[in-house]
Structures are given as structure tokens and as C-alpha cells.
Structure 1
């Protein structure tokens, strides 16, 4: 069977097509039907069908998607509708075959005593059997859908709408984007830098240069990701008070790349996992947990796993079977007031701080702002194009300069840190990742352990102690008429704010052996006479200072954060 297919996104109804206009697929018995349909799909009988993670998906435009009035007005052209890749199921495959092919059986007509081609639909069992295959060598792979231009691995810019063979990405712009020059002029670069740093971001109350630099580094991450092939850290925008502009700051990349809002449920890891899986069905490049409760501690094993893994896998929604898998190619952001970090999140986070130093920041006069009422300005598609165009010009200028890297390192995000640091240094933007000390101050767990180990060393020097002896030393003493806590409230406690049992304390200590907290580190060895572990604290005042003073040229294996 010979099959030809049009691979541009289909916008027709398909009902008016005659059998002559559609590929003909003759089916027969169940086994023959399975073989024939498998061959037809491999030969491209259906438009906009790709393979992703071993599963066939169909790329289609989505009508009626939630959007603002301005966006609906812009979407009057069907080409501007959002594009979505949906896994093909037996019912959806039936629909696609009915609209884009002529599936028939050869049946004998007793009345005419003639063999006739009669249109037919394959059985659900046959369709399910076809879709059960995980191997589709002749179907084009779909890595993802992007709504804005991105850098290919070779440093060229993907800016032509449609499927890109070099990357496996499908570029479906939601707004008309003018061509970006491969070699921007000096004037274009100067104007772009002026716009981004002194117009777009000028009026946000960043605490320090590091906060603005970190935000720009996060903003360009979706453009650089295919080029770098790397993960990006969690972006935390933390403000001192309400109406500081944190949500708007997070929404800038959301407006230009696509944004999905998520709900943060404290201490509910199962719900967090479900929300991440659901979010990854969206094509939005930016995922945002907005306005976390004031003082929230972001400490999640699920989120930590997401940020440091190139892929995310989970059970299919509504099913107990494993099956959902997606590339972790999104920018994950959160905003809130005085947000804290716990667990391993500090080493996975790029911090952006805002402090308006104003009791009523919402009442600021915007007359002299670079862009007054930026939230309304960004809602206009033409203005979002302006922002994205300037960012792309700066990226292409960096590429033409040889894409220089800085020496910044950051755990699993060193590739991003080195590239973003090099990009910012190339354009004269200072301070990138310089707020390491502030990051550690936001790390509640590190702060707790630093205080605990400091007091331990003060009380017991470097004498080895068993967990039972250490617990006993934490019991308050009665001196005269007063109850004295020698630990001054720094001893570790459980969820009920009680001193843990010696067994529980031993497990806690074991998990921190060899880990530095400030200038202190916990050591241990096995005591043969007691047949148990003993612990002690070593201190090095220069360790914490050296870590804070580390320059971008530091060894690549030493994490800045």
C-alpha cells in the first residue's frame, strides 16, 4: 500500500473528502487488519502523528482553551490556536482513520453478485493491538512542542513553524514572530540590553545585583535548553511583603513561553506528584506555584527528584499501571513572602529576592516607570513579541561571540550555570549567583544543624559521644530554683518539638556524617567496646569563609549553591 501524507497541522473537518482524496486501506481478518494498519501508520497515512516515548501521539490545535480576551481576539486565526500532543487511543485512532483515510473491506453483494469495496471501521481489539506496539521506527519522534524560538544543539535558531527534524521539536507560535537575525548588529544588541535591564526589569525592587542577574539567567533558560541539553534549577522569587511584584516577575517568562499555574499543598507529596504529572501534559514551558503562604518551607523529596532528573515518570492518571513518562524540559518557579527552604532544596534553587522597603508598595506612582502598568502591557501579544525578540537578539549575539562560559558551578545544574553566567558576563550583567550566603540563610535545615553542631562543639569539644549520652546531655538541669537548658534551644527535636529518642537521634546523626554545616562537620566511628557508633564535631572556621568567598573560577566540582 502506498501512502502519502500532509504533515502540517490539520485544520479541516475532513468530512467533505471523497475516498479518492484519502489513502485507501483494505482490511480483512483481525490479524491482517493489525498488520495493515501498523504498516499504514508507519507510512504516514495519518497527518500529524508522531511517536513520543514509544507511544503514538497526535498533534492537533485546541479550540476553546482558557485564555484572556486579548488572547482570544488574537486567536481569530486558527493558526494561532494552541497546539497539543495527545496520546492516540482506540477511539481517537478510529476518528483519525475515518477523517483522513478510506478504510474498507471487500465484500460480496449477493444482490448484484459483485465484489464491492465497503467502508468499514476496524474493531476496538485490532486498534488496541496496533497501539500496543512501542516500536515505530518509521514514525517521526516528537521531543516536545515549543511556542517560541529556541536554540538548536548546533547554535542555530529554530524559528520556522512546524516540525524540526534536527531537534524533534514542533514549533507552534501563538503570536507572529518576526525573523531574528543570525548576526544581530551592534545597535540591535545595545537596544536589546537596554530594554531588558533598564526598561523591562528596572522598577522591580531587587535586593542586589545577584537577584536581577539570576532572574535573567532563568528567563533565557527555555531558549537555551535544547542547545545545552541540561536541567535548570528551581527559581524561587521571595519578597519581604505583599505587592512587591513577585508574581509579575514570574509571569514575564510565563507570558512569552507559556504558563501553567500549579497549586502548592504543604506536606502532601502524593498531591504534589499528581500535580506535576498533570502539568507535564501541558505544553506550557513555565510552571508556577504562585503566592505560597507566607513563611512556607519548601522541602520536598518529590520536587527535589523532579529537578535533578532528566525525565519524569509516574502512573497514568486514573490508573494503577505505570506508563506516563515525560522529558523534564520546563522551568519550575515559585513565589511567596519570606519563603524558606528545607531538605536539599537550597542546592537546587536560584534565588531572586525583592524588597520594596515601602509599607504600601501597591500605591507606588508608576508615572516614571520604565513600562507603567507592566501587567497590562504584557497582555498584548505585540508587546510579548518585543520582550522575546530582545532576549533572542542577546542570545544570538552571545552565540556569535563563541557562547563563552563562566566558571560557575551548581550541583546538577553546572551546564546551565556556566552558560547563563557566560551570557550575563558577555553582556556586562554582574552578580550572577552571588547570593549564596542568603540562600543558606533561607535553608532552615542547614541553619538548624549549624546551630546544633556549634553548640555541640562548644559543650563537648571533639570528644566522641554515643547518641544516648548526647540525648542525656540535652535534658534540662535544675540549678537552684531555675531550670537551665545548656543547649539554649539548639538541640534537635522531633515533629512534636520533643527531644528524640537515642535511636531516632542516632539515625538523624548518621544521615549527616561528613556533611558540612557552616564551619562544622559531623564525624563518627564504630566503638568496638560499646558495639555502637560514636559521634563528634570538628570545626574549621576557614571552611565556611572559603565556601562563601569562592569565585566563579573555582573547581568545577565545587557547587556554589
Structure 2
């Protein structure tokens, strides 16, 4: 018969005990629940029942898979270059057959009956289940009696009801396990007016005062990103990509990105330009880590961040990828991280502009690295943040602002942002509640950073100048791109605005047709492509409208391709 014990949270004693399994006289302690096993099938059923009943401490279920929370021995793992914590003091690992055998041996008394050949008497002997039985138990994806684990956090976060997780250990209301990276004094749930004022003064006039933000929007955007890990469990939403772009080296962009890294824990990633397959592997590897912040630091100057893989990640609650070298098994993880990048004069492409929050720095100084640190609000901030006590100070002030906003009813702003509207409305409301202006006011600059969109705006503007609202086929459009010879001089009617491929060449007629079809109805600036089928020529025709254009009936074109054949003659 199997006896269940109440699950216990991970504690230091779990690691430091010399031998929790036997007493000095070699007998089995009474607090080890007995599990009697028999044949293979019986063993599988018995172990499944025992695990489901919570017999093993610190075993949880995540995505249908059993995981075990264990404390990492030794000092907290840190990045030696930055001093940032790269992992949390507690980590969750998938439960394997060998790990299950280890837990059973240490926390239960697994035994079977053995018959003495001489006396015929049955006695209990301690036993270890076979690997086959252990693997069979772990193959189950349904564990209704096992506590769900939705993540491990190293700092206090908001529950969905607006209360703050401050007690270390497992939080049943959220399924989160709070493992503080440094001792954290209690944060007042109802901070005083003076505490709120002090928190705002510290964050704006000391912590961030020396960063050369281009505009108030850049400071407000960074604060919103800094608060995102605290708000995420409360909001239950995705957060956008944070891009910190500076005009020159030594502007402070890396340090600005490291602030959330120091506070919550960070993993540094390597950006490989134009290689989505490598980026996918990098993201999959990163999500095996418990770090809440994922950072691509110092992307090469002038890089255009344009990735379908990254764009998909940012708008997907779950990340799934096939494991390398596996034909069927895959990896799935909850996308609950904050993804950041830094670089000088970074540009955007693809769908990244609508998924990104921009923070710009411009020191307007030929030698920003020679600024007098002694005059800073916090001199040598990078070293200051390496002290856990100072990191707790920053975090406490952030939490005070959050709790004051919660007590005011958590007002929202009217900001909208694609799949991130929940985050934008809450962040905008929190900042406005504290009188911090500018949040998301640099959307125009964000669009200007979108090189691909800028190219489309120029292309469609010139198309409209040349063709107005006349409808043409992709073949005719391709013919217009040809360079004419006028008075022995080459003439480009498009003035360099026609679309080109990755090699800078004019695409083929078929490629142009595919490209235009992919942008039908999508606005670029004040221009949009419309399309219809020509029933006479059985060909698709395209035209450009502007925001001021009277929209015409799209069901039937007013000109056939044949009637437009003389357009450039």
C-alpha cells in the first residue's frame, strides 16, 4: 500500500543534510513513506499512483511533463564579465528516469517482498524500480494531483488579483515559485505618499538621470520595459521587443539594458545576421534557461533587425521547436521572457517595427566615455549594480510605484499596440498615474527606423506619381522598370525607387506579382496596393491608392491590360 506525504518546498536543508535516508542504527526513518512494488505492470501502476499523490517533494507538472525543482549548490551563477546573475538559485529540470530513481531512493522506502528459499518466509527488502518501469511512469502526460509549475521568478511579481508575491517558495494562486536572488525586505502593499515620491525621485533623478535619452518617450519606454517582468503575471500578456539604439559607442546602451538584467537575471545571446535557422536554435537554447531577460547586446552597427522567426516569437505565447538530431521529439516552452537588443543606429525590417518599443540614446558628444562619473546621480552605476543590496533598492522602488498604481485601481491608458495592447494600456496607465509622460510617443521615429517600410513608401509614392490610379499587370510594371535611352542618356523613370532583390537586381515579372500580392491592402505610409482580376485578359491587375484617393469599385477594372499597353510608348 502506498502512503502519500504532503509535498514540501525546496529548502537549504534539502541540500545540506548529510544522509536523510537512514538513522544511526541503519533503520529506515518513519517519515519515509513506504511503496511496495512487485511485477513490472504492478510497479508502474503503484509508482504512478504514488507520484500523482504528491509523495515526492518538489515535483511539479509543467505542460504535461513532470519537473523537479532543485537548489543549485554553491554561489549564485553569474556572468563573470558583468556580474549579472545568469541563473536563479532554484532551477526546474524535466524529470528523467534516473532522477526519479534518485528521488524515490531518498524520499521513499521502495521495497518488494522476497521469499526465503530455506524457510519459505516472506520479508521486505529495499528495491529500485527498473528503468523500463520508471520511463513508463514518466510517459504519462496527465497528472491531476501534481501541483502545476508556471515558472520560477527571482523577484516579487503581481498576482492576477493585484496582490504581490513576497513569500519565498511555491505560490498556489499563480503556480509560480519565488526564489529570491537576494534577501528582499517586505514591500508595503499600501505605500505612503512619501514612499511613492521617494521611489519616483530615485528612479528618475538618480538611476536614469545620466542616460542621454533623445526624448521623454525614450525614458518612459525604458521604464515600461523595466516594469514588464513584475506586471506580466498580473496582465497575462505578451510584451514587445525592446530595442535600445544609440548614435555612437559608449552612450550607455549596454548598461541601460543591463539594469533589468541585474535586477531579474539575464542571459546574453549572439545575433547572427540573416540566419533564421541559427536564430531559432539560439532562442530554443535560451528558453531552457530560467533567466527572465534575454539580451542581444551590441548588435553590429547599422544592422537591420528583420527576422520572421523573431517576429513570430514575439507574438506567440508558446515557443515550439524541433530538437536538433530528433526526427519527432520537440521542445515547447512558454514565452514569458523580456527580449531586448542593443546596438548603434540599428534599423528594423519586416514586421519588427510594430512589435518593438524603441529607446534612443544620443550623447551629442565626440567622447561620451570621458564624461565625469563623479557628477553622476550614481557614479559608476555598473559597479554599483553588482551589489545585491543595491539591486534590491532599485527593485523595491519599482514595486512601490506598482503597488501605488494598483491601489489607485490600476488605471489604463488608451495606448494600442498590435498584440501588445494589454501591456501598452497598463504600462501607459501606470506611467501616467505617476506623471511620467512620453510613453510610446516616438512611434514616428520607430517607423523611420523601419527601412523596409521606408523603401515601400518610396516605391508606392513613385508608382502613384507615374500611374495615378491606373491598373496595370506585374508584367507592365516590370517593363516600366527598364532603363530607357533618351538622347543617348540612360533614364530611370523610377529614380531608383523600384523594388530590388537581395542582390540589388530588379525582380522577375513572376516575383513582382508574388511580392505585390503579399502586400495587397497593407498600408505603407499614406499608400496602399489594391488589386482585382481582369475578367477579359484573365490576369490580376494592381494599382495604388492614397489616403486622399476616392476608393473606386474594386470588382471590375476600368481599363484592361491591353488598353494600358501604350502607357510607356
Within the candidate set 270, 292, 299, 1:285 is matched to: 292
Contact 1:307 1:348 in 2 (8 A): yes
Residue 486 of structure 1, aligned match among 490, 493, 501: 493
Question: What's the CA shift string for 1:73-110, capped at 9, x where partnerless?
Answer: 999xxxx9711100001111111111211111110123
Conserved? CA contact 1:148–1:173, under 8 Å: yes
Quote the Cα distance in structure 1 between the aligned partners of 2:377 and 2:459: 47
Take 1:404 and 1:3, find their aligned partners in 2: how far apart are those partners? 46
More displaced 10-residue stretch of structure 1: 116-125 or 173-182? 116-125
Change in Cα spacing, 1:30 to 1:14, as seen in structure 2 (3 Å) is farther
**C-alpha displacement at 1:32, in angstroms?**
0.4
Q: Does 1:15 align with 2:26?
A: no
Name the larger-Rg structure: 2
Selected match of 2:394 from 383, 387, 398: 387
Q: Work out the CA distance in 1 between the residues paired with 2:231 and 2:62.
A: 22
Instruction: Give TM-score, length-normalised by structure 2.
Output: 0.92
Q: Which runs of 5+ in 1 are unaligned?
A: 544-561
* Aligned position for 1:462: 469
8 Å contact from structure 1 (residues 46, 97) kept in 2 = yes
Matched residues in 2 for 1:317 and 1:217: separation? 36
**1-structure distance, mates of 2:230, 2:262:** 14
Q: RMSD value over aligned CA atoms?
A: 2.0
The alignment partner of 2:321 has SS state of strand
Aligned to 1:253, what secondary structure does the other structure show? helix
**Would you say the 8 A contact 2:299–2:344 is kept in 1?**
yes
**CA 1:208–1:74 in 2, change beyond 3 Å: closer, same or farther?**
closer
Matched, 1:198 2:201: no
1:194-224 per-position Cα deviation (integer Å, ceiling 9, x unaligned): 0111110000010000000000011101000
Structure 1 residue aligned with 2:25: none
**Greater shift after overlay, 21-30 or 154-163?**
21-30
Distance 2:319 2:80 in 1: 34
1:45 is matched with which residue?
55
Single out whichever of 475-484 and 53-62 deviates more from structure 2. 475-484
Match of 2:45 in 1: 35
Q: Could you list the per-position Cα deviations for residues 121-177 of structure 1 after superposition, in whole angstroms to 9, with x for gaps in the alignment?
A: 111110010000000000000000000000000000011000001000000001000
Question: When the two structures are aligned, how many residues end up with a matched partner?
Answer: 539
2:373 partner SS: coil
TM-score, normalized by length of structure 1? 0.93
Secondary structure of 2:395's aligned partner: helix
Cα deviation digits, residues 349-370 of structure 1 (max 9, x gap)? 0000011111111111111100
Pairing 1:264-283 to 2, within 5 Å after superposition: 264-283=271-290
On the 8 A contact 1:84/1:283 being kept in 2, the answer is yes
Offset at 1:45? 1.7
Matching residue of 2:557: none
Q: Does 1:66 align with 2:77?
A: yes
Deviations 1:454-502 (A, max 9, x none): 0111111111111111111111111113211111111001111111111
Counterpart among 424, 428, 432 of residue 435 in structure 2: 428
Q: Distance in 2 between matches of 1:491 and 1:141?
A: 55
* Structure 2 counterpart of 1:443: 450
- The CA distance in 2 between the partners of 1:73 and 1:228, in whole Å, is 27
How far apart are the structure 2 equivalents of 1:70 and 1:470? 54
1:216–1:489 CA distance, 2 compared to 1 (3 A) = same
3-state SS, counterpart of residue 530 of structure 2: strand
Alpha-carbon separation, structure 2, partners of 1:382 and 1:438:
37
Q: Which residues of structure 2 form unaligned runs of 5+?
A: 23-27, 551-569
Question: Which whole-Å deviations, capped at 9, do the CAs of 1:330-375 have from their partners, x for residues lacking one?
Answer: 1000001111111110000000001111111111111110001100
Residue matched to 1:373? 380
The equivalent residue for 2:193 is 186
